[in-house]
Amino acid sequence: MMYSVIIKRVITMRNYFSAFLTIILIVPLLLTQSFAVEIKNNKSKQEKIATPLTAAQLNTLLVKKFKQGKYSKKGADSCLKCHDSESDHNAMGIFNNVHGRRDVNKSPFADLQCESCHGPMGKHGSKVRKGKLREPMISFGKHSLVDADKQNSVCLSCHKDQQRMAWQGSSHQNEKIPCASCHQLHQGQDPVLFKQQQNKLCGSCHKEQLHAINKRSSHPLKWGQMSCSDCHNPHGSFAEHELKRPSINETCYQCHAEKRGPLLWEHAPVAEDCSVCHDVHGSINANLLKQRTPQLCQDCHSPADHPSTVSAGSEFVEKAQSAFTLGKNCMNCHSLIHGSNHPAGRTFQR
C-alpha cells in the first residue's frame, strides 16, 4: 500500500517535471519559427551580408596565412586593443595563468605572444571593407571550423610529455576532438583540472556515463571525490577504453588491490574481468552490479550446483523471509565472492 502511494506521488511529480521540460524545450522552438520568418523577411530588404567561409576554405586560408608569416607590428598590443575585457572575445584571462607570462621560458607569451597559438595576424587587424568579413585567425574549440588536428598541433608543439605519448590514434584524436574542447586557457584556472567540473565536462559528450554517475550506486564522481581521469587517460593510452593501466582489472586494482590475488580459490570471472559482473560507471543495483542477485548468479550457476532450490516467485514479494532473496541473498553464505585464500574456502564461505 505504502509503495503504491509513493509510486503514485512520484509518477505525478515525474509527469509535472516532464511537462515542465517539454515546455522549456518546445516553446522556444515554436517561438523562433515565427521570429525566423520575420527576420528572414527583414534580411532580404537589407544589403547583402558576406557569406562565411566553409571549413575547407577556412583551413586553406589559414594554412596560407601561416606559411606567409605576416605577424603583427606590436604583438599582443595589436590584439588587446580590441580583445580587451569589454570585448565579446575577451582575451585578458590568459594573464591569470602561466600561458600569459612573459617571464616564463617556453610560455607562449615569452615567444610570439598571442600569435604563438592563433597564428600570424595578417590582415585580421585591418579595417574591414563593406560587405566583407574580417580575415579569420586560428580559433580553437569544438565549435571552431578549424580542423581539430591542426588546432591540436599548436598545443602539442609544447605539450609533449608522457601523458600525451599515445595521443595519436587515441579515441579523442580519432573523433577529431580539439584540445580546447576541454581545456580553457583564457581564464585563471582551467576548469577541467577540478574534479567535479571535469566530470561534468566529460559527461557533456559521454552522456550515458553522466547518467550513470547519478544512479544509486556509483563511484564517487558526482561530488568530485573522484574524477574520470583517475581511471582514464583522455589523451590516449594503449588499453581499451583509454584506461590508464594495461587492462580493466589492473585499473581497478589501483584502488582495489585486495581483489588482485592470486588466491587459492579464485572466482573465474573475477580474475578475468571485473566488468563481467559490474557496471563500473553506475548502476541502479547495489554494489555497481549489472543485474540484481540472485539472478546474476543464476545466469551462470544452475540449481544443479547447489543443493537448495532456486528462488521462486513467492520469494520476491515484500513480506518474504527468504535468505535467498533478502539481504545479500546468495552472498549471505558465499560472502567471499571475489575469491578466497582459505583452505576450506572452495565455496567462498570461508
Partner 1 sequence: MNNSTYQSLLNRITLVTLLHFSVGALADGFSLKEANTKKIKKEKWVCKYCPAISNTTARITINLNNNSGDEGRFSSAIGDNKKGIGGNVDVDVDKREQDKHYRFLAKDLGKENVSATLLASKTDSYKASIAYEALNYFGHTFALTPFINAGNSSLQLPDNWQRVATTSEMPSDSFIHFSKQLERESWRLSFDKQITQNWQGYIHFKSENKQGIKTTSGNILNKVVMLPNGVDQQHQQFNMGSYYTFENATLSVSYYKSDFNNKRSSIRWQSPYSVLFGGAESGQLSTEPDNQFNQVSIFGHYRHNNFELQARFNYGQLSQKESFLPYSINPLLITNTLPTNNLNGEIKTLSNHIKIRYKTENKWRISLDSNLDDRKNNTQSNDYQRVFTDSVVLNSVAMNRPYSFKKTQVKLQSKYRFIEGSQLAFGWKFDQRERDFQDRNKTKNNKYWFKISTKFASLNSLSFELSRALRDGTAYNRTDQNTLINDALNLQKYYQADREREQARGQVSFNPFKNINTEALINTEVSFQAYFSRDQYRQTDIGLIESKRRGIDLSLTTPFNKHVSLLIYTHNQWQDNLSQGSYWFNEVDWHSDQEDKSDSAGISLMAEKLLDGKLSVAIDYTYSYAIGNVLLNTSLLTSITNNNELIINSQDIKVYADYIYSPDIKIHFGVLYQYFDEQDWRFDYTIDRVANVLGNGISAYNIDDYRITGGIAYQF
* Interface with partner 1 in residues 57-76 (CB under 8 A): 59, 62-63, 66-71, 73-76
Q: Shortest distance, CB of residue 129 to partner 1, whole angstroms?
A: 21
Cα separation, 345 vs 73, whole angstroms: 78
Cα separation, 85 vs 93, whole angstroms: 9
Q: Which of 16, 134, 193, 269 binds partner 1 (CB under 8 A)?
A: 269
Judged by CB under 8 A, the stretch of 122-130, 178-186, 249-257 that binds partner 1 is 249-257
Judged by CB under 8 A, the stretch of 122-130, 165-173, 177-185 that binds partner 1 is 165-173
Q: Which of 8, 123, 134, 346 binds partner 1 (CB under 8 A)?
A: 346
Helical H runs in the chain? 2-45, 55-68, 76-80, 114-118, 148-156, 171-174, 195-203, 207-213, 248-253, 268-272, 295-298, 330-333
Cα separation, 82 vs 89, whole angstroms: 9
Which grid coordinates belong to 304?
A: 544443479
Q: Which of 99, 119, 185, 251 binds partner 1 (CB under 8 A)?
A: 119
- Cell 576554405, residue? 57
Q: Shortest distance, CB of residue 10 to partner 1, whole angstroms?
A: 6
- Applying CB under 8 A, the site for partner 1 has a residue count of 163
Which grid coordinates belong to 189?
A: 584556472
Residue closer to partner 1, measured from CB, 21 or 128: 21
Q: Shortest distance, CB of residue 130 to partner 1, whole angstroms?
A: 18
Q: Which of 116, 135, 190, 191 binds partner 1 (CB under 8 A)?
A: 116
Q: Which of 125, 158, 159, 190 binds partner 1 (CB under 8 A)?
A: 158
Cα separation, 334 vs 346, whole angstroms: 10
* Contact predicate 162/236, CB 8 Å: no
Distance of CA 190 to the CA centre of its chain: 15
Cα separation, 167 vs 279, whole angstroms: 27
328 binds partner 1 (CB under 8 A): yes
133 binds partner 1 (CB under 8 A): no
Q: What count of Cα atoms within 13 Å lies in the side-chain half-sphere of residue 201? A: 21
Cα separation, 337 vs 324, whole angstroms: 15
25 binds partner 1 (CB under 8 A): yes
Q: Shortest distance, CB of residue 123 to partner 1, whole angstroms?
A: 15
Q: Shortest distance, CB of residue 124 to partner 1, whole angstroms?
A: 15
276 binds partner 1 (CB under 8 A): yes
298 binds partner 1 (CB under 8 A): yes
Q: Which of 61, 135, 165, 191 binds partner 1 (CB under 8 A)?
A: 165
39 binds partner 1 (CB under 8 A): yes
Cα separation, 322 vs 293, whole angstroms: 13
Residue closer to partner 1, measured from CB, 47 or 318: 318
Q: Shortest distance, CB of residue 97 to partner 1, whole angstroms?
A: 10
Residues numbered 175-214 forming contacts with partner 1, rule: CB under 8 A:
175-176, 207-208, 210-211, 214
Residue closer to partner 1, measured from CB, 126 or 295: 295
Cα separation, 118 vs 120, whole angstroms: 7
- Cell 546468495, residue? 330
